[in-house]
Structure 1
């Protein structure tokens, strides 16, 4: 090969390499330039849990285009995992005389605890909106969306059975999410983008005008009014959770690791409330195959509501129908069984009566290896004695020493060594964050002067002020539907008025 040819080959190789580098640099820089996705008149919903899907449903029903942005690869958020149900009172499905449940508001105020005195009028207004809208929320899901919510249970902290779920095998959270999502996908007005992270809320003067977000390394911009339904910060262990509740360091969580998004809203003037109020759910499963995994699978509260009892070293120690906070406090007042993660070991025990009314849950837990079917004698003499006493109280033969009055569908009366029971080990885990951005009863995000930020609404766990110190089981899905509907309607009115 001649010297001239070698020089040419080297030259062209260097030229190709240089061109490739320039092209890669250009493409990289282009990915950082915001791409204008759409300039048409539409609304933006951030988060695809039940709050976001409900808001989107309201907007589409009004004939308005919606862009729904979800940071996970699949839609549904934490809502799709919810298994106990949605509260509603009064409804046609509740036991007793028609529309006899009048205490939902009082139960919720009581559950909120001492913080009810802080911003009292504002908090009670939100609670009033939540509870007074609950009948319509259940009716909307049943009558308009065709979702079965015919089974009703009483959960801890409630004075009446009012937590609705379906009679089939599909958990209520998944049933609601999948139904709403299917309906939305049938509309040409609905646009869903997953694996897309909102990085900035855009503002022009005092009005919110859209979002900047990233998908697959490409930065995009959407303009329009926004409904934020991005969830809480229970999985942000090293970020917001560590900032507001450092005492919960080391606790397992039922949430996947993900950053809280409230700071996106505070950057445009939103205010925060109750950020230190974090709900630790008393019953999450210890997986025998992976005990030290910090992400736990929730043991649905319906298991206790339908009659389950809790044993520590074979003995009962609490009225299982107390609020989540009180049950958690009773568990954690003794030393933890492990430090990393911080875990306790408590047995959750069910009988065949509970199984018959919550079989879809229990079969799944047994299949996952989180619960097992066994006998009373296998739990030990102390535990068998405790179950015997509990069974007598459930039958009305004695007054329960812990004050429990509602025993769900527990039916075991004569406890024998071979009596069938279902048991799983549980521990408290970070579950829900009661704090978030302050909203009005119209789902408007409020600024430091308690004035609505124009073009911005929020619903679901990203908000604060409703639940106070403790959220009642079944009220998270209700909150999503009630305020998701309101936010969707308000955004629609705003969009139509532009």
Structure 2
């Protein structure tokens, strides 16, 4: 019923928008919700998705008022499905969100105390209510935090916990061992989920683990210079997938290539490099070139020789891809729907970066409702316990849409805060 209502609302808005401007880049919360629901194979909680999509624009506005400045264009990251991702203009990484909140706390003199290097060990329950947290300080001292209103868990997933990955995985056939890297911090090991479970929380979708297809084979990091939907070419010089597809589809296709690796390629015109020669993470492109993480060729033949690919094969791949992009017709090979104007590989210099999939996001976690209350195994709220972000499950289903993690964490983080103070 809720899906039908979203579809009806989407159709009405679409018809009105296209009638006014046939060339508009259309978007609305309903489209965001339905794409998220479909991309997760319809197993997520649509009520959670609907609330996320409706409140996400307000999250953007709230951060803007707090001092985070957004670029005046939208982007489309790997697996994002639609160009609705927002990039900060005054920060180069996710640290910008943390800094924005920290600066707001300092500017407004908010009564917030931050304890660094303090590990949460256990939730404290009294008469069925979560009333605090037991923790260990940086020098091994025991710390007890008492909560008057509630405890909000935002401890992340378990992408860096190989044992948990192997235990819960339902998508990758037990292949997420130590040989598969992770984009996550080494601290993202799932203790928060286990703490909540010990306190009676129900878990949901724990078997759904996402790989990001475009990571560094040596360390699993996501740093690089090419746009997410740039052309993907295997070590034989051939395309092998619709680069705008779902992350699970991209990762499966990548792992099926020789050696489980491929090259993401771009040109100087469509690389994510600013006028100062820095990437979106603020790293000089020369750093990547000197380390060999990025290979540069002045022309197709030069690039092909450096990555040991047959120049004729690579040129044929580029020509076929460019013909599709130029005509915006049908990608008969892999069904890619479109090309952004700066994506075609018309002229050099060209760049190639070796990529492979790594564990990126765990879609499962503690079960919550639309008020960010943690639910027990019977589906009832646990008094005093709230959660947001990757520690939760039920929002992304089997496959998270690119860009939705930050929207999820910041939006439901706000919902959790509002719920806790009521």
What TM-score results when the alignment is normalised by the length of structure 2? 0.82
1:283–1:428 Cα contact (<8 Å) kept: yes
Taking the TM superposition and a 5 Å limit, the aligned residue runs for 1:406-485 are 406-410=338-342, 412=344, 414=346, 419-485=348-414
* Separation of aligned partners in 1, 2:146 and 2:346: 66
Within the candidate set 237, 248, 264, 2:176 is matched to 248
Within the candidate set 238, 241, 245, 1:315 is matched to 238
What secondary structure, in the 3-state scheme, does the structure 2 residue paired with 1:453 have? strand
Q: Deviations over 1:116-158 (max 9, x none)?
A: 4xxxxxx011111111111111111123444324331124555
| Structure 2 equivalent of residue 488 of structure 1 | 417
Q: Report the alpha carbon displacement of residue 188 of structure 1 after superposing the two structures with TM.
A: 4.9
Gaps of 5+ in 1: 1-88, 117-122, 338-343, 494-498
| Structure 2 equivalent of residue 349 of structure 1 | 265
Is residue 2:202 matched to residue 1:271?
yes
What secondary structure, in the 3-state scheme, does the structure 2 residue paired with 1:191 have? coil
Q: Report the alpha carbon displacement of residue 438 of structure 1 after superposing the two structures with TM.
A: 0.2
* Separation of aligned partners in 1, 2:155 and 2:102: 16
* Separation of aligned partners in 2, 1:153 and 1:128: 22
Q: Report the alpha carbon displacement of residue 226 of structure 1 after superposing the two structures with TM.
A: 0.5
Taking the TM superposition and a 5 Å limit, the aligned residue runs for 1:67-78 are none
Within the candidate set 108, 124, 128, 2:36 is matched to 108
Q: Deviations over 1:385-422 (max 9, x none)?
A: 2112112211117532322123224355645xxx3111
Q: Deviations over 1:86-137 (max 9, x none)?
A: xxx99xxxx9648644511111011111534xxxxxx011111111111111
Taking the TM superposition and a 5 Å limit, the aligned residue runs for 1:113-132 are 113=41, 115-116=43-44, 123-132=45-54
CA RMSD between the two structures? 2.6
| Structure 2 equivalent of residue 210 of structure 1 | 132
* Separation of aligned partners in 1, 2:323 and 2:131: 63
* Separation of aligned partners in 1, 2:345 and 2:47: 45
What secondary structure, in the 3-state scheme, does the structure 2 residue paired with 1:313 have? coil
For the structure 1 residues 397 and 455, does the alpha-carbon distance in structure 2 shift closer, same or farther, using more than 3 Å as the test?
closer
What TM-score results when the alignment is normalised by the length of structure 1? 0.70
Q: Deviations over 1:142-178 (max 9, x none)?
A: 234443243311245555310110345x325222221
Taking the TM superposition and a 5 Å limit, the aligned residue runs for 1:141-180 are 141-167=63-89, 170-180=91-101
What secondary structure, in the 3-state scheme, does the structure 2 residue paired with 1:361 have? coil
How many residue pairs end up in the alignment? Answer: 375
Is residue 2:283 matched to residue 1:364?
yes
Is residue 2:190 matched to residue 1:260?
yes
What secondary structure, in the 3-state scheme, does the structure 1 residue paired with 2:120 have? strand
2:77–2:402 Cα contact (<8 Å) kept: yes
Q: Which has the larger radius of gyration?
A: 1
2:204–2:366 Cα contact (<8 Å) kept: yes
Q: Deviations over 1:37-63 (max 9, x none)?
A: xxxxxxxxxxxxxxxxxxxxxxxxxxx
2:213–2:247 Cα contact (<8 Å) kept: yes
| Structure 2 equivalent of residue 119 of structure 1 | none
* Separation of aligned partners in 2, 1:398 and 1:144: 43
What secondary structure, in the 3-state scheme, does the structure 2 residue paired with 1:461 have? helix
* Separation of aligned partners in 2, 1:113 and 1:353: 36
* Separation of aligned partners in 1, 2:338 and 2:98: 31
| Structure 1 equivalent of residue 3 of structure 2 | none
For the structure 1 residues 453 and 413, does the alpha-carbon distance in structure 2 shift closer, same or farther, using more than 3 Å as the test?
closer
Q: Deviations over 1:190-248 (max 9, x none)?
A: 111111101110000110010110012100101102100000100011x3223213431
